[in-house]
Chain A
Amino acid sequence: MRDLSPRSPITWALIALVVGYAAVLFGLPIVTVVASAFQKGLDPIIKTFKDSSVQHAIFITFSLAGIAVIVNAAAGLLTAWVLTRHQFPGKRVLDAMVDIPFVFSPVIAGYAMIVLFGRGGWLAPTLFPIVFALPGVLLAKIFVSLPFVTREVQPVLASITPEQEHAAYTMGASRWLTFRRVILPEIRTALLYGLVLTFARAVGEFGAVAVVSGSIQGYTETATSFVFRALNDRNPSGAYSVSLVLMIVSLAILILLNLLKHRLTARKG
């Protein structure tokens, strides 16, 4: 029942329906954004990217997403390890918590940060500004992209048999050396997959960032917040140009994910 050639016309019709649906839902919109961005030639695009606030927005979007990736990589790996290799009370609760950002609206997460750190907030005033400042943007990005590394690495860690690890220990390898030489090569692809998803999610975040950052031009405004402002300020070519860049990045990410997925399935056999 796998990879059959469709025989009946009904099957062909269903395939046509599904592919047609996806083409209307994704294909057409992609083409439209590209066409709209280039509609008035290259000049408006160049003008948009010469704007220093656009450059700053793109810079902080990618650099803060990079920091979020580092934090979630280190802590996510540790979490995956603890959740697969340790037994302790409360483990199930921690495991369930990892999925919360999948179902928790980012806007609400942003609102929680305002309640904590905003003016008159429960923990205000903070040592350094968090809300309407870059630390808030970073916190928002870490929150929304938190589950990916843990959830990608966890099943692979669970499938590694402990024999190799024990062999390494027996031969006198330190825990760190065992991790680096025995475990890391096994989980590398899954980890990379998780990192790419984390980065994509952190770059694309808007809701939490919009609430927490105050979208201050040239300071906390991210690429996605810029698109929103450009639309409201009737600067469509600005919105389309930055959208185009974000879309190209996400298509590149998609291709990368696909390559990694092939490597993952090849490994599983």
Chain B
Amino acid sequence: MSDAVMPSLSVTRPTPSPPWGAWGLRTAAATYLLIFIGVPVLVIAIQGVRFGPMEFVQSLIRPEAFSALRLSITTAALAAAINTLMGTLTAYLLVVYRFPGKALFNTLIDLPFAIPTIVTGVMIVLLYGPQTIIGAFFQKSLGIRFVYDTPGILVALLFVGYPFVIRTVQPVLLSLDAHQAEAAQTIGASDWMTFRRVIFPAIRPAILTGAMLSFARSLGEFGAVVVVAGNLPLKTQTATVYVYSQVEAGNIQAASSVSLVLLAVAFGLTLIAERWLGGKSHA
């Protein structure tokens, strides 16, 4: 190869790589991503529209499908909102303050990433189920039923979506230039003013990305929800549980429209998150 001619110059040159080798690596990586990710996405996209627009709309406005989608979107949005609020607060306190038990707390935040979601479901049923102390208390005195009802779905989604905002905001807070905040305080800004005017604008993109990921995760959640909510059509059946039930029942087509809607929402969110964080995401 020509590299051998003037070895002294190769130090400043980019990594010597024979073009065929480079293309081989690229093709291998592209094949991997296309097979494992591109194909399922394409299948859902084609399957959703291949029966025509009439069929697509008709299967979406079936009461079971419509109600499942509505339940999923509302609970996921509510969970994402709470997770965003609590997550931002948690990240801020974790970075700025020192308090006893902080290291342990910081470790436990990742628990929802590590724990199987079906175990999350089992935990919630055990804790808030009708036969437990907490569950019975809420049902008798407040008339709120967690398990086999919407509040249980919400608790499950709060659990699985908790770490996202924290883990996107924390690194940005850590990398913030401390001088600005200190300068603001020196000229007499209160803690709240400093947060609102200096810190918040800097972490806003990270908050939005975390919120998006938390929402997408909640929308797609299945294990925890199916255990906690049961599977009652029109009542506690979420979109993913609906798809699961239809596939189990052999109604392949019925699942396709709802799947396509979920896919489209997830895609829209990725594109938006991509814009805000320049393709960097962490989960």
Q: Do A and B bind each other?
A: yes
Question: Interface on A for B, CB 8 Å cutoff?
Answer: 1-6, 8, 11, 14-15, 17-19, 21-22, 25-30, 32-33, 36, 75, 78-79, 81-83, 85-86, 88, 90, 92, 94-116, 118, 122, 139, 142-143, 146-147, 151, 155, 162, 165-167, 169-170, 175, 197, 200-201, 203-207, 210-211, 223-224, 227-228, 231, 239-240, 243, 246-247, 250-251, 253-255, 257-258
Please give, as numbers and ranges, the residues of chain A lying within 8 Å of B29 by CB-CB distance.
75, 78-79, 81-83, 94
Is A97 in contact with B110, judged by CB distance below 8 angstroms?
A: no
Is A11 in contact with B113, judged by CB distance below 8 angstroms?
A: no
Q: Which of A30, A103, A108, A110 contacts B123 (CB 8 A)?
A: A30
B265-279 vs A, Cβ < 8 Å mask (1 yes, 0 no): 011011000100001
A6–B92 Cα distance when bound, in Å, is 12
Please give, as numbers and ranges, the residues of chain B lying within 8 Å of A30 by CB-CB distance.
123
Is A2 in contact with B178, judged by CB distance below 8 angstroms?
A: yes
Give min CB distance, B113 to chain A, whole Å.
7
| Those of B161-182 within 8 Å (CB) of chain A | 162, 174, 176, 178, 181-182
Sample (30) of A-B pairs whose CB atoms are under 8 Å apart: A6-B97, A19-B99, A19-B101, A22-B90, A79-B29, A88-B26, A90-B30, A96-B279, A99-B281, A100-B37, A105-B262, A106-B220, A108-B44, A108-B220, A108-B262, A109-B40, A114-B247, A116-B39, A155-B280, A166-B10, A197-B113, A200-B114, A204-B119, A207-B222, A240-B122, A247-B115, A250-B114, A251-B114, A253-B114, A257-B114
Give min CB distance, A192 to chain B, whole Å.
15
Please give, as numbers and ranges, the residues of chain B lying within 8 Å of A97 by CB-CB distance.
33-34, 37-38
Interface centre among A8, A99, A165 (most CB of B within 10 A): A99
Known: A240-B122, A257-B110. A79 touches B33 (CB 8 A): yes
The prevalent SS among residues of B at the interface is helix
The prevalent SS among residues of A at the interface is helix
Residue of A nearest to B246 (CB): A111
Please give, as numbers and ranges, the residues of chain B lying within 8 Å of A197 by CB-CB distance.
113
Number of chain B interface residues as a range: 35 or more
Please give, as numbers and ranges, the residues of chain A lying within 8 Å of B178 by CB-CB distance.
1-2
- Judge if B211 is at the interface, Cβ distance under 8 Å: no
Please give, as numbers and ranges, the residues of chain B lying within 8 Å of A205 by CB-CB distance.
116
A127–B98 Cα distance when bound, in Å, is 60
Known: A97-B33, A146-B36, A210-B222. A103 touches B114 (CB 8 A): no
Please give, as numbers and ranges, the residues of chain A lying within 8 Å of B43 by CB-CB distance.
112, 115-116, 122
Q: Which of B40, B114, B181 contacts A113 (CB 8 A)?
A: B40
Please give, as numbers and ranges, the residues of chain A lying within 8 Å of B28 by CB-CB distance.
75, 78
Please give, as numbers and ranges, the residues of chain A lying within 8 Å of B193 by CB-CB distance.
none
Is B222 in contact with A151, judged by CB distance below 8 angstroms?
A: no
Please give, as numbers and ranges, the residues of chain A lying within 8 Å of B13 by CB-CB distance.
166
Please give, as numbers and ranges, the residues of chain A lying within 8 Å of B71 by CB-CB distance.
none
Residue of A nearest to B126 (CB): A32
Is B116 in contact with A143, judged by CB distance below 8 angstroms?
A: no
Give min CB distance, B162 to chain A, whole Å.
7
Residue of A nearest to B199 (CB): A1
Please give, as numbers and ranges, the residues of chain B lying within 8 Å of A254 by CB-CB distance.
107-108, 110-111, 114
A247–B56 Cα distance when bound, in Å, is 41
Give min CB distance, A107 to chain B, whole Å.
4
A94–B27 Cα distance when bound, in Å, is 11
Please give, as numbers and ranges, the residues of chain B lying within 8 Å of A102 by CB-CB distance.
213, 216-217, 281, 283
Known: A100-B41, A112-B43, A169-B16. A29 touches B244 (CB 8 A): no
Give min CB distance, A243 to chain B, whole Å.
5
| Those of B31-62 within 8 Å (CB) of chain A | 32-34, 36-41, 43-44, 47
Is B118 in contact with A224, judged by CB distance below 8 angstroms?
A: yes
Residue of B nearest to A108 (CB): B259
Please give, as numbers and ranges, the residues of chain B lying within 8 Å of A243 by CB-CB distance.
118-119, 122-123
| Those of B102-130 within 8 Å (CB) of chain A | 105, 107-120, 122-127
Is B222 in contact with A26, judged by CB distance below 8 angstroms?
A: no
A115–B47 Cα distance when bound, in Å, is 8
A116–B42 Cα distance when bound, in Å, is 11
Is A4 in contact with B97, judged by CB distance below 8 angstroms?
A: yes
- Judge if B11 is at the interface, Cβ distance under 8 Å: yes
Please give, as numbers and ranges, the residues of chain A lying within 8 Å of B37 by CB-CB distance.
97-98, 100-101, 143, 146
Is A25 in contact with B158, judged by CB distance below 8 angstroms?
A: yes
Please give, as numbers and ranges, the residues of chain B lying within 8 Å of A143 by CB-CB distance.
36-37, 40
Residue of A nearest to B106 (CB): A258
A25–B120 Cα distance when bound, in Å, is 10
Please give, as numbers and ranges, the residues of chain A lying within 8 Å of B283 by CB-CB distance.
102, 147, 151
Give min CB distance, B177 to chain A, whole Å.
9
